[in-house]
Amino acid sequence: MRASGLAADYVYEDEVGNLWMLAWSPVVGLVKYDRQAKRLTNYPLGEGAVGIASSNFLADGRNGFWVSSSRGLCYFDRRAERWTYRFQHDETNPDSLNDNTVASVYRDRGGLLWVGTEDGGLNLLNLQQEQFGFYHHRANDPNSLSPGKVTAIYEEPGGILWIGFFPRRLDRLDRKTGQVTHYVPGPQHKNSLGEGADLITIYKDVHGYLWLGGWGSGLVRFDGRTGQFKHYVHKPDDPNSYPADNPYKIYGDRTGQIWVGQRYGLSRLDPATEQFTNYRPDPSNPNSQSNAVWAVYQDHTGTMWLGTRGGVLSRFDDKTKTFLNYTPDPRDPRRLYGGGITSIHEDRSGTLWVGGWDGLYRFNHHDGTFTRYTESQGLPSSVIQGILEDKAGRLWLGTKKGISRFDPKTETFRNYDESDGLQGDEFSESCFFQGPDGEMFFGGSHGFNAFFPEDIRDNPYVPPVVITSFKIINKRVPIGANSVLTKAVSYVDGLTLSYRDNVFSLGFAALSYANSYKNRYRYKLEGFDPGWNEAGSTQRLATYTNLDPGRYVFRVQGSNSDGVWNEEGVSLPILITPPWWRTNWFRALCVVVFLALLWAAHRLRVGQLEAQEKKFREAVETMPALAFIARPDGYRTFVNRGWVEYTGMTVEQATGSGWEAAVHPDDLEKVMAAWKTSAATGGPLDYETRLRRGADGAYRWFHTRAVPLRDKRGKMVKWCGVANDIEDRKRAEQERDRLRQLEADLAHINRVSMMGELTASIAHEVNQPLSGVVSNGSACLRWLAGEAPNVEEAREAARRIVRDGRRAGDVIARVRALAKRAATPNEKLDLNEVIREVLALVADEAKRNSVVVGSQFATDAYSVLGDRVQLQQVMLNLVMNAIEAMSTVHDRPRELLIATRNLDADQVEVTVNDSGPGIDPNMIDKIFDPFFTTKPDGMGMGLSISRTILQAHRGRLWAAAKDSPGTIVHFSIPKYREDESNAAA
């Protein structure tokens, strides 16, 4: 049959042989050709001039076609033989198609639709997200929901949905027609919904009245037949009136009675009289939050259960009108925790579940305890907003973070969030409803979801896993003939790496693009990792460093966003080749080389031994010392060439005891004695003697040492000895002794000369106590004279005479000690005390120079080991220098500060701090040089000697400039140690 004017260039044959074409003339849409009936059927896409952007269409593999058009992406259901969906651009919805002109559509292995548009780029459609039906507000669309947060949902049989909102609104949605009726708040009137914050509870009674409640309003009854509202308000004088402004929950029990949970408890409405009977769960405390009933539920036995704002679960006994309260206690894990209760549900097994702010609770009827589930057990949020049950006995929980499906048998949670097509993450308190056919409704911030739980399936798509990148030391490896990669890493069968390339990274991906950020991964390197490494979608990179050479297999597995794993994954064998020095052939080579070396060494040794004797003889003959061999009795059997040349004797002359002629006659006796002693004891010989030089007859000092050689039995066989010329060393020693003496003399001169400088002061120091002695003496005599001698005063005066006399004696003793020439022994010294004595000597000198002397002695200063006189000399030098330096100062106080402190655990430091003119920084190191002086009549030895003294004490002396005028001279000296004193002694 010829179809006139049919323009189509793609034909699809379905399973029964029908042919399908996309036509743009004469109709725009699908055309079916029934081959059996030989009949064409047109399915126009829409009204008006609609162009089809692509001549192609896509069979979805089931019973439909995806058709791209200039008015969006359309879906045709072949069984229903009609267009069922159309995805179009929606200004207000960023998740809608970007552009209505769809150019192409492609379905990937994961079932995602990739939609190419003319101006809106590539769009991805995840139909998985469509399994949660989503109803929400659309701007400028009167048949969409009211704006605001959905706070209540009720479905009446027949597909009419009632939806309450914050801010207060009521919507009636006819799901068959899609028509929405909006009721807005207004003054309390029979034609108005009334004022209030929101609408949080809706119930339709058996008489066809719709009951509404919310914050800040009374109870409202709406008659849909007449469109009239009736408002029940609280009348203070009527105990049977409605008691509160906040109906939290309107609940119809199985007998058709209406219960209202409100601010002050539970109210029961008698429909006949329209009177309320009010009950309080906590009658003893009318204002307790335990009375604010949020949740009302009737179990299969007809028992009423209440959940309150105060976290109390109450069992209401309808016969006695009393409550049995299960009160919270956060410290007891088997009781309720305390947050408000939003929902109560009894499952098909008769278990009661309670949802609240602190988690989901299972009520254990037999002992009245609760088992609590929180985020720790896998809930997305511990705040439970609603509980519903599906036909499989699983609980669906609305929470603050999405919806969670809980399987009480396995106690596991499966969590859904916005990316799964939910209205948003946050669901409203107690805003849930289950229709008679099992459809579930949960409302929240952006609308509500309606779904059949059995339709909610995990994305079954097992994603392929691929290795996407390969990097060595964080650098992408180029692909090429000379590279490790001869083709893209996704396609290679294995990798061979050198031991140098053993820092490498492998990137990988699971090819599932539906919520790909929720894809999960696990990888391991067999031969290295003991187990799987888990990774999220942001860590799609495995890095390995410093692997030993060897064979490995890298394996990755990935899952889609719903946790369906590709268990097979992908694997990549990796071989790391060893470095050449770890290869077997190299090891073998090493063995060969070692053996060759061994043989060469043996040959060498034999040759060496042959040469050795000759060499030794030469060595002995030519060594720069006088060598000899003697019998045990001292009879010389051999002298070397050195001996012969030095003494000028012949070998024959020196043999036997002839050598004695070369010894200085004064030393001969000593030498003989040494030989005799050693011959007797067998101990080594060691003596110094002068030997005559044959050339000029001069005597030089030699150090002779000889050791006995013994046979196996220990019997002495002979002596081997050498004599070394130590003339130069001997002289140096003498020189050093002379210098040391000179230094001591100089130090003494320095001390004495300082004594000279101090004469006047010392005289004063003696004179002061003497003055006291004289005065006291005179006074003493006076007190004793006369008729009534005052003995007490006289005794005091005499006591002072003794004291002052001693004081004068002390001064003199100090001066004598300093002036003495003899060395004093090192001893344990209190440095503070040593300095105090010096300060006593110079006190008057300081006074006469108007210098104020201060001291800061560390009370815990360590003791030191030293020569008292020498250290005092150092102090004296430093203090006198400071006083002298300050003599030119007239415009500021002349201040001298002496301080001691522990420098560290081993050192004590003394500082002498003056306010003099200071030292030129360029000169600061020169001041310790001998003969350096700034004084016209100074010798320039004081500081030099002081430094020498301190060096002998293993201390240090140095000077530093100050910020303020003046100089600080420091010296440090090691702390006294017990072991040292013993060594010194």
Binding site for another protein (CB under 8 A): 760, 763-764, 767-776, 778-780, 782-783, 790, 793, 796-797, 800, 803-804, 807, 844, 846-848, 850, 852-853
Taking the least distance from each CB to another protein, the nearer of 589 and 774 is 774
Shortest reach from residue 767's CB to another protein, in Å: 5
Give the chain's length: 985
Integer Cα distance of 910 and 957 in angstroms: 9
Q: Where are the alpha helices (DSSP H) in 849-914?
A: 868-885
Shortest reach from residue 898's CB to another protein, in Å: 15
Taking the least distance from each CB to another protein, the nearer of 185 and 772 is 772
Helix, strand, or coil (residue 205): coil
Integer Cα distance of 219 and 243 in angstroms: 10
The answer to whether 395 and 442 have CB atoms below 8 angstroms apart is no
Listed as own residue / partner, the contacts of 539-546 with beta carbons closer than 8 Å and 24 or more positions apart are: 540/468, 540/507, 540/508, 540/509, 541/469, 541/505, 541/506, 541/507, 541/508, 542/505, 542/506, 542/508, 543/503, 543/504, 543/505, 544/502, 544/503, 544/504, 544/505, 545/502, 545/503, 546/502, 546/503
Shortest reach from residue 851's CB to another protein, in Å: 8
Shortest reach from residue 765's CB to another protein, in Å: 9
Please name which of 349, 455, 452, 368 lies closest in space to residue 408, comparing C-alpha atoms.
349
Taking the least distance from each CB to another protein, the nearer of 824 and 856 is 856
Per-state percent for the chain, helix, strand, coil, to nearest 5: 25, 35, 40
Taking the least distance from each CB to another protein, the nearer of 340 and 769 is 769
Please name which of 856, 838, 871 lies closest in space to residue 765, comparing C-alpha atoms.
838
The answer to whether 301 and 346 have CB atoms below 8 angstroms apart is no
Taking the least distance from each CB to another protein, the nearer of 655 and 768 is 768
Shortest reach from residue 899's CB to another protein, in Å: 19
Taking the least distance from each CB to another protein, the nearer of 780 and 865 is 780
Structure tokens at 117: 């548009």
Element containing residue 653 per DSSP (H, E): helix 651-654
Taking the least distance from each CB to another protein, the nearer of 472 and 851 is 851
Shortest reach from residue 777's CB to another protein, in Å: 8
Taking the least distance from each CB to another protein, the nearer of 77 and 796 is 796
Element containing residue 807 per DSSP (H, E): helix 791-819
End-to-end CA distance of the chain: 134
Shortest reach from residue 794's CB to another protein, in Å: 9
Shortest reach from residue 859's CB to another protein, in Å: 24
Looking at the DSSP bridge assignments, the partners of residue 571 are 555
Number of C-alpha atoms within 13 angstroms, CB side, residue 326?
25
Taking the least distance from each CB to another protein, the nearer of 235 and 806 is 806
Integer Cα distance of 894 and 888 in angstroms: 10
Shortest reach from residue 957's CB to another protein, in Å: 28
The answer to whether 393 and 368 have CB atoms below 8 angstroms apart is no
Under 8 Å CB-to-CB from 704, ≥6 apart: which residues? 671, 685, 686, 687, 688, 689, 721, 722, 723, 724
Shortest reach from residue 962's CB to another protein, in Å: 22
Shortest reach from residue 783's CB to another protein, in Å: 5
Q: How far is CA 217 from the centre of its chain?
A: 55
Q: Cα dihedral angle (371, 376, 382, 386), rounded to 10 degrees?
A: -60
Integer Cα distance of 144 and 158 in angstroms: 19
Taking the least distance from each CB to another protein, the nearer of 174 and 757 is 757
Shortest reach from residue 950's CB to another protein, in Å: 30
Shortest reach from residue 831's CB to another protein, in Å: 24
Taking the least distance from each CB to another protein, the nearer of 374 and 775 is 775
What type of residue is 718?
Answer: K
Shortest reach from residue 847's CB to another protein, in Å: 5
Taking the least distance from each CB to another protein, the nearer of 131 and 768 is 768
Taking the least distance from each CB to another protein, the nearer of 683 and 893 is 893
Please name which of 396, 403, 394 lies closest in space to residue 423, comparing C-alpha atoms.
403
Integer Cα distance of 861 and 858 in angstroms: 5
Looking at the DSSP bridge assignments, the partners of residue 250 are 260
Helix, strand, or coil (residue 793): helix
Please name which of 559, 570, 465 lies closest in space to residue 514, comparing C-alpha atoms.
559
Element containing residue 773 per DSSP (H, E): helix 759-784
